[in-house]
Amino acid sequence: MPAARVLRGGLLHIGEGLIMGKTELTSRERMLLTMERKPADYAPCSFMMFHGLRDRLDKSDFRVFLDAQTELGLDAVAELPELPFAFHPDVSVTEWKENDGGAFVLHKRYDTPAGPVHTVVNQTEDWPHGDHIEFYDDHNVPRSRAFHVNGRSDLKAFRYLLMPPTSEQLSKYRLSCKAVKDYAAQKGLLVRGVRGVLIDAAIRFAGVENLVFAAMEDPDYLDEYLGVISDWNMQRMEIVLEERPDIFLRRAWYENMSFWSPQMFRRHMKPHVIRESRWAREAGVKYCYINTCMYKNLLGDFKEMGIDVLIGADPVQDPQLDMSLLKREIGGEICIWGGGNGFVTVERGSPDEIKREVNDAMDALAGGGGFILSPVDNVRDTSDKTLENAKLFIGAWKERR
């Protein structure tokens, strides 16, 4: 590890400021300086998601996963727990299963004061939840026959499913947050609050195709529906921000040109991001926006939206990505977190491919600071080979940082 620059009197000089009595930075300090695009002792490497490591460990204790990342040399991030979901107290839920010509279909009906919300999914062989349908889950989307929201007429009843957590839920959440924050403070780690949603949630509750058609055929309805999602998101965001994490993460994988035109993005998504980023900044929390492909035409919008960190520069799965252009266009205002690829390169690549990808990212993005290296956006495979490849990725970074 390169030695930190120490001035007389025990002052560590880091760009525009001085940290009294410091001889080296904590991981949290390094990450925050980098997000502010100020010089740090070196460019951090922090895996956005590393389920391939997490799932090899005891998942009942979050500290085990943080320690394992730190031992690898990573700038680990302590994540606050997810907020629980809550329905209106007058909502009742019924689930059942039917045989449809030899194929099983699952039903879930929420009876609300404004009428029923009825979801139906195909129970495929790879369905992970038994005879149960989760309220909020990626697996529902491609298997759904009927969504929570199938049109404007469903919105009134749907609102009864988007209630704030109960006082009991909040008490447990606060205690869990305290444990995470206390350990992060002890270890000098960044704390991440999770997680803001808009299109990510809208798709889970209404499906991809329905939203895209609505944007073209009934944009006023889409505005109304996204307003419902945004109000729910903001009430949850307020609770998370009260915990004072260092960063707040917004899930925006589906808010790019894979699905929308720039005009659709500017009408339906951009105003909500601006609202969220302002809330975060007013709370002294950095706003991180995860979007991993097909956003080249939105870089000017990203600068206008108040984003502190763009998570997701993927050199493999984003056909539009030019990392040097990305650095030139937004690097002076937005920290870039990414530069590598998880599924293709780390999980399946050769040692030479892994090292080349790290070097390319460092060459294009690290100059001038404001860059955190990571495979985008997850390393999920739990094999020994993938773990060794992840170590190669980390080793190549250590040679260059």
* Digit-coded pLDDT (tens) for 336-354: 999 999 999 999 999 999 9
Q: How far are the Cα atoms of 69, 78, 122, 204, 381 from residue 81, in angstroms, in the given order?
A: 18, 10, 30, 20, 23
Residue 119 is part of which domain span?
A: 92-161
Same domain, 123 and 227: no
H helix or E strand, kind and range, residue 338? strand 335-341
Residue 161: what pLDDT?
98
pLDDT of 21 over the 80 cut? no
Angular region, 383: left φ>0, alpha ψ -120 to 50, beta rest = beta
- pLDDT tens-digit readout, 215-269: 999 999 999 999 999 999 999 999 999 999 999 999 999 999 999 999 999 999 9
Average pLDDT of the residues in 20-40 = 89
Which pLDDT band, with edges at 50, 70 and 90, does 8 fall under?
very low
Kindly state whether residue 218 falls inside one of the protein's structural domains.
yes
The pair of three-digit structure tokens given for residue 36, joined into one six-digit string: 């502010």
Say how many domains are in the chain.
Answer: 2
Kindly state whether residue 74 falls inside one of the protein's structural domains.
yes
Domain boundary among 137, 161, 185: 161
Same domain, 130 and 234: no
Kindly state whether residue 188 falls inside one of the protein's structural domains.
yes
pLDDT of 371 over the 60 cut? yes
Angular region, 154: left φ>0, alpha ψ -120 to 50, beta rest = alpha
Name the β-bridge partners of 120. Answer: 107, 146
Kindly state whether residue 12 falls inside one of the protein's structural domains.
no
Kindly state whether residue 11 falls inside one of the protein's structural domains.
no
pTM of the model: 0.92
H helix or E strand, kind and range, residue 213? helix 208-217
- pLDDT tens-digit readout, 149-172: 999 999 999 999 999 999 999 999
The pair of three-digit structure tokens given for residue 340, joined into one six-digit string: 């590598």
The CATH number linked to 229 is: 3.20.20.210
Residue 6: what pLDDT?
33
Residue 22: what pLDDT?
56
Residue 13: what pLDDT?
46
Residue 378: what pLDDT?
95
Same domain, 263 and 235: yes
User: Nearest CA to 324 among 377, 273, 365, 267?
Assistant: 365
Domain boundary among 131, 161, 191: 161
Kindly state whether residue 71 falls inside one of the protein's structural domains.
yes
Same domain, 244 and 385: yes
Name the β-bridge partners of 375. Answer: 340
User: Nearest CA to 354 among 305, 313, 401, 316?
Assistant: 316
Q: How far is CA 48 from the centre of its chain?
A: 8
Residue 195: what pLDDT?
84
Same domain, 379 and 286: yes
Kindly state whether residue 356 falls inside one of the protein's structural domains.
yes
Same domain, 78 and 109: no
DSSP 8-state code for residue 296: G
SS (H, E, C) 26-94: CHHHHHHHHHCCCCCCCCCECCCCCHHHHCCCCCCCHHHHHHHHHHCCCCCEEECCCCCCCCCCCCEEE
Same domain, 145 and 291: no
Kindly state whether residue 58 falls inside one of the protein's structural domains.
yes
User: Nearest CA to 251 among 126, 69, 82?
Assistant: 82
Residue 109: what pLDDT?
98
Same domain, 282 and 305: yes
Same domain, 139 and 78: no
Cα separation of 178 and 167, whole Å?
A: 16
- Residue 33, amino acid: L
Whole-number average pLDDT of the chain = 94
Which pLDDT band, with edges at 50, 70 and 90, does 126 fall under?
very high
Domain boundary among 161, 181, 214: 161
Same domain, 192 and 58: yes
Same domain, 117 and 199: no
The residue written with tokens 């009864």 in the block is 160
Inter-residue contact 380 to 344 (CB < 8 Å)? no
Same domain, 320 and 219: yes
